[in-house]
Amino acid sequence: MSIPEAAPSPRVVDRTPSSATGESSPTGGGGGAEPPRTPFLLDFYPLEDAKYTRISRFFEELRAGHLTTTRCPTDGRVLWPPRLVCPECHRGDLEWTELPSRGRLYAFSAVLAGAPLGMEKDVPFVVGLVELEGIPLRIFSRIAGVRWEEARIGLEVELEPYTLEDGRVFFRFRQASGGSERTPPGEAAGKVRCP
Amino acid sequence: MTGRRVALVGGGVGPFGVRAATWTELVQEAGKVLFDRLPNLSPKEVDSLFVGAAQPERFAFQSHVAPLVAELLGISPWKVVQRTELACASGQSAIRSAYACIAAGLSDVAVAVGVEKMNLPSMAEANTSMADVLDRPWDGVHGATAPPFFAMCAQRHMLEYGTTAEQMARVSLKNHRFANSNPTAQFYAKTFTLDKLLATPWVSPPLRLGDCSSMTDGAAAVLLVSEERARRYTDTPAWIAGSAQHADFHNLANMPSLTHWTGLERAARELYRSSGLGPRDLDLAEIHDCFTISEIIEYEELGFCPKGQGGRFIEEGQSELGGKIPVNPRGGLLGCGHPLGATGIAQAVEVLDQFQARVPPARQVSGAEVALVHNLSGSANVHSLMMYRREN
């Protein structure tokens, strides 16, 4: 079987989380025609339904606009990505916690060449490590709403959940509306632009 | 060090590049070079086989590759046979596994083969496979492949230590120049200048095409034997003097620092301790320049220079022939290309060739006796190190 050159990855349907509520199940059930599916071995997105994963709650919360993860009750350690077992003490009864929905770029780059299948149409796109507000956690994410030439370390970004054509939900960050650019202390503004 | 001493006694590297050859054909080419170089070696005396291959399932739609390689090379291993996978360090993993088995007495004569076929009809498909080396559902899904990750390392290193684009380009210039004396290199006989490298197109800013190693097809093979057998094959073996590895995170959120690769620092400490050799003893180093910034950070973590001064180290010519520690005389991943599984094996062959003084003068380190080999894999979350010396 040949694999089509055209991007088979799930198409992104830009919808706000609120308009996505009331959808059928995340894997696109609901009795209608089967949604288009990417061959599993070329599909970057996680399987989200409770039929496939024990962290389906992460995706349900994301659909409602919340970025969550699990935390160990022993020492409050926040784990990313959400885990079932604490890698430090191996406790298995972790609790869910909500993460800040805002943060700032700690480091970033852009993909101008060599994009994987399904991402070629997005080129050039910005990616970066987002330092979440108030907690020591940096999450890697696609960064929307800013050209790479204009992005800077310290740029304020906010969570943006989105829905795939097949009904699954995922997240990225977007340059915050009305957000300020804050130059990290001790670092000259001219030095933090990329390149 | 415990166990029996282990010697690397022969090696062969096939042509690296964008090859009109399949995975299976690449293995045959490298195997022929190895056996042609060792007239005293019959495939039937090879008791163990280790195949370093990162992604044959995705790049060649073939798994269970160890028996395929055995069939191609006429080897019928009866002690140990396996494939080793550690992404960009799969080749060194094959050597390390052979080393461990011989040292422990489980094998006497072992072949380690490394191979990767990366140039496919659809390069987007190949890039998809490269994105699953990182944390696919959490990082890869956003578009994390090697270039943007190492670009972030470069961005922070430039910010924190003042490293410049020109210093990075100088790493590429050096390794391409070395590759000009290596006929198996992807960029053999191709001339680059600093200006030319600094004007190549962006891949992931601040990394340009000239800062990135290539998607390459290639294979290489080595023979490792126990101490008492070494002289049967060569008068000048490369003895394994030490080894270390370190792994510390997977998801990018859990990386301690983009610029201070503590895992490599720790592995280096263990390598120097276990071998009784340190940076000052090194005649050359073959290290993992998948990107120019990688080589700069590696100078620092391996103790070739103080932290933050990797840019100055290349600028001052300390990693050139005649410098403090010549680095990547083979041509590096930048000059030779980077067929994942083959790279670590080809680096080991370079060490043997340097010890045996059989490389062209343009890259020969005169009197080379001690060499370090380094591979990183994934997002620099695993570091693999080996030490070789000429005298037992």
pLDDT bin (cut points 50, 70, 90) of residue A37 is confident
Question: Residues B170, B296: one domain?
Answer: yes
How many alpha carbons fall within 13 Å on the CB side of residue B211? 29
How far apart are the CA of B4 and the nearest CA of chain A, in angstroms?
36
Q: What is the pLDDT of residue A16?
A: 43
Q: Tell whether B229 and B339 lie within a shared domain.
A: no
Predicted confidence (pLDDT) at residue A188 exceeds the cutoff of 50: no
**CATH code of the domain covering residue B90:** 3.40.47.10
Q: What is the pLDDT of residues B225-270, one digit of tens each?
A: 999 999 999 999 999 999 999 999 999 999 999 999 999 999 999 9
* B86 and B176 assigned to the same domain: no
Residue A6 lies in a domain: no
Q: Structural domain of residue B91, as residue ranges? A: 6-121+216-238
Measured in whole angstroms, the distance separating CA B378 from the mean position of its chain's CA atoms is 13
**Residue B63: Cβ within 10 Å count:** 11
By a Cβ cutoff of 8 Å, what residues of chain B touch chain A? 58, 122-125, 127-128, 130-131, 135-145, 147-148, 151-152, 155-156, 158-159, 165, 201-207, 209, 251-254, 258
Per-residue pLDDT tens for A70-99? 999 999 999 999 999 999 999 999 999 999
DSSP letter for B181, please.
T
Please give the backbone phi and psi of residue A165, each rounded to the nearest 5 degrees, phi first. Answer: -60, -30
Q: Within a domain: residue B392?
A: no
Same domain, B270 and B380: yes
Active site residue B88: yes
Domain count, chain A: 1
| Strand, helix or coil for residue B215 | strand
Q: Mind listing the pLDDT tens digit for each residue in A119-161?
A: 999 999 999 999 999 999 999 999 999 999 999 999 999 999 9
Q: Which residues contact A185 (CB under 8 A, 6 or more apart)?
A: none
In a domain, B368, yes or no: yes
Residue B308 sits in the same domain as residue B381: yes
Question: B159–A187: do the CB atoms touch at under 8 Å?
Answer: yes
Domain extent for A103: 12-20+46-184
Residues of chain B with pLDDT under 50: none
Q: Is there a single domain that holds both residue B349 and residue B276?
A: yes
Indicate the residue of B203, B206, B252 with minimum beta-carbon distance to A114: B203
Q: Is residue A2 part of a domain?
A: no
Contact A119 B165 (CB under 8 A): no
Express as a percent the part of chain A with pLDDT over 90. Answer: 69
Does B34 map to a domain?
A: yes
Structure tokens at A18: 């609120």
* DSSP summary character for residue B279: G
Q: Within this chain, do residues B272 and B283 fall inside the same structural domain, yes or no?
A: yes
- Name the closest residue on chain B to residue A144, using Cα atoms: B142
Residue B383 is among the residues annotated as catalytic for this protein:
no
Q: What is the ipTM of this complex?
A: 0.95
B159, part of any domain? yes
CB < 8 Å to A45, chain B: 137, 141
The answer on B277 and B221 residing in a single domain is no
Chain B partners within 8 Å of A115 (Cβ): 124, 127, 143
Which letter, b or e, does each residue of B322-335 get, where b requires 16 or more Cβ atoms within 10 Å of its Cβ?
eebbbbbbbbbbbb
Q: Using 50, 70 and 90 to split pLDDT, how confident is the model at A15?
A: very low
Tell me which chain A residues have a C-beta less than 8 angstroms from the C-beta of B128.
42, 44, 116-118
Contacts of B198 in chain A (CB under 8 A): none
- At A38 the pLDDT is 83
- How distant is the Cα of B374 from the closest Cα of chain A, in angstroms? 26
| Residue B36 and residue B164 share a domain | no
Q: What's the whole-model pTM score?
A: 0.93
Domain total for chain B? 2
Task: Give the number of A-B residue pairs with CB atoms closer than 8 Å.
Answer: 131
Domain assignment present for residue A140? The answer is yes
Neighbours of A193 (CB within 10 A): 14
Q: Please indicate, yes or no, if residue A30 is contained in any of the structural domains.
A: no
Residues B155 and B224 in one domain: no
State yes or no: pLDDT of A4 exceeds 50: no
Q: Can you tell me the distance from the alpha carbon of B32 to that of B18, in angstroms, rounded to the nearest whole number?
A: 20
B228 and B294 belong to one structural domain = no
- pLDDT at A31 (0 to 100): 47
Give chain A's mean pLDDT.
83
Residue-wise pLDDT for B156-174, tens only, equals 999 999 999 999 999 999 9
User: Given this model, what pLDDT does residue A131 score?
Assistant: 98
